[in-house]
Amino acid sequence: MPEIILGSLVICLLLSPQLLAGFLAKRTGRNFWFWFFISFLIPIISLIILIFLEDKNPTVQGYKLADHLDKNKTPEI
């Protein structure tokens, strides 16, 4: 039984750079599986590349602030 737990822990640790690269790629609008498999070939370099690549997701428009909270308006005294 301890061998199964130890083996599972080792597999999780070995796959952590690949999973991290896949989730980072997905968050930036790229293909999870492509970067997951690329990370097997060059694990640390692929993470560094993903960190510096531009985000492909469209920018999210925020909420419009109320007039009295608008930062661009000058306060009326």
Q: What is the pLDDT of residue 77?
A: 62
Q: Where are the alpha helices (DSSP H) in the chain?
A: 2-27, 32-41, 43-52
What gap in Å lies between CA 17 and CA 56, rounded to an integer?
22
Answering whether pTM is above 0.85, one says no
Report the SS3 class of residue 29: coil
Q: What is the pLDDT of residue 57?
A: 78
The tens digit of pLDDT for each residue in 22-51 reads 999 999 999 999 999 999 999 889 999 999
Two structure tokens written together for 24? 């980072």
Two structure tokens written together for 71? 């930062």
Q: What is the pLDDT of residue 25?
A: 93
Two structure tokens written together for 49? 């590349």
